[in-house]
Amino acid sequence: MRYLDVGTPKISAIGLGTWQFGSREWGYGTPYAEREARAIVRRALELGVTLFDTAEIYGLGRSERILGEAIAGDRDRVFLATKLLPVAPFPAVVQQRAVASANRLGVSRLDLYQVHQPNPVVPDTVIMRGMRTLQRIGLVGEVGVSNYPLARWKAAEEALGSRVLSNQVRYSLATPGPADDLVPYAERTGHVVIAYSPLAQGFLSGRYDGSNRPRNRVRSFNALFLPVNQDRAAGLLRVLREVADAHDASFAQIALAWLIRSPAVVAIPGASSVAQLESNVAAAEIELTDDEWQALRDAAVQFRPAGGPAVLPRLLRARLGSAPLGSAPLAQPGEQGGDEG
Ligand SMILES: NC(=O)c1ccc[n+]([C@@H]2O[C@H](COP(=O)([O-])OP(=O)(O)OC[C@H]3O[C@@H](n4cnc5c(N)ncnc54)[C@H](OP(=O)(O)O)[C@@H]3O)[C@@H](O)[C@H]2O)c1
């Protein structure tokens, strides 16, 4: 495993995302929540993973509880990250919610406490007052944000008056935008980009296609899995296959190795099994050449998935399991569907 050099306790370049734990929208069921999730965490610890990411909203607190139970006894080996859902994020509320998260996790300190989304009404000058108090009393180590554009990340840091260590954003070969601005900024200034949905929710594993679509609630609303986007991704998947063959690796491993080639990026893939976790951790050992990295980036930039309102009818039809999925022409790319985690 590789670790970041940003003046914090050890942060592994491959972490573990735990939105899947106890969450209905991923639909992995009770055996996963009660047994597999714990086994995934235990194996991750054995393999040197230190970064574990959860949020108060995941499974309405169940993810935090499952994760907390799984790391009990190994607290010192973990860089524990959770997130505040910024509903009425006034200082007293922020503080009270951090205490509630820590209680569910069974810990006395949150190594990284992140604001899950920018609040459209309450400014960061207000939210960060709560964060500052949490740092002062020692309940929170580092402060982070999530889904913040660069300008607002910088403004949040100014409001806090000290480093806002990380910005957790959707970043993968299917959504390479952060490579343009957030990643160079983080590299220059000692900050961290935490890449969420680094496998584009499994789209980049190459395991799904038009005749084999994932059926759970999160992904049935993700436009990437529509056949039209499988078609549009042919070029990207071809390059992914070439690089994967050259390294005797899987698509998913190359997708992760591409992200964490930057010393300022960590990826937090979720996993539905221990085998997936093991494979994802092994991606930290893969060294891409400059040419491979660039070829993947070029292919990623050229991938223009259909999205936005134009694909809504198709998504609904696909979800209902009716009607042909690849028929009418679509508007050009926009936002992809899918629930926010
Ligand atoms: N801050 C935010 O707003 C936000 C938003 C979304 C997510 N997140 C965080 O980021 C984490 C990861 O994102 P995500 O769960 O959306 O997407 P992801 O990590 O890109 O995809 C996870 C899914 O990909 C499949 N997978 C994982 N490893 C694989 C492998 N080696 N080979 C093949 N398939 C593999 C599994 O699904 P199947 O086996 O079922 O195919 C798994 O559930 C979350 O758990 C959460 O902690 C944060």
- Give tens-digit pLDDT for 47-60: 999 999 999 999 99
Structure confidence at residue 314 (pLDDT): 76
Residue 108 C-alpha to ligand 1 middle, in angstroms?
27
Q: Does the beta carbon of 205 lie inside 6 Å of ligand 1?
A: yes
Beta bridge partners of 115: 84, 145
Chain-centre distance for alpha carbon 87:
21
pTM strictly above 0.85: yes
Q: Which residues are catalytic?
A: 58
Is residue 212 packed enough to be buried (19+ CB in 10 Å), middle (13-18) or exposed (0-12)? exposed
Ligand 1, atom 10, lies closest to the CA of 196
Ligand 1, atom 16, lies closest to the CA of 197
Q: Which of 26, 36, 66, 205 to mutate to test the pocket of ligand 1 (most atoms within 8 A of CB)?
A: 205
Residue 132 C-alpha to ligand 1 middle, in angstroms?
31
List, in order, residues 6 or more apart from 1 with CB less than 8 Å away: 12, 13, 14, 47, 48, 49, 281, 284
Ligand 1, atom 30, lies closest to the CA of 276
When mean pLDDT is compared across 66-75, 259-268, 278-287, 329-338, the lowest value belongs to 329-338
Interval 75-103 mean pLDDT: 97
Structure confidence at residue 340 (pLDDT): 54
Of 319 and 244, more confident = 244
CB 303 within 8 A of CB 236: yes
15: helix, strand or coil: coil
Q: Does the beta carbon of 276 lie inside 6 Å of ligand 1?
A: yes
Q: Does the beta carbon of 21 lie inside 6 Å of ligand 1?
A: no
pLDDT grade, residue 272 (50/70/90)?
Answer: very high
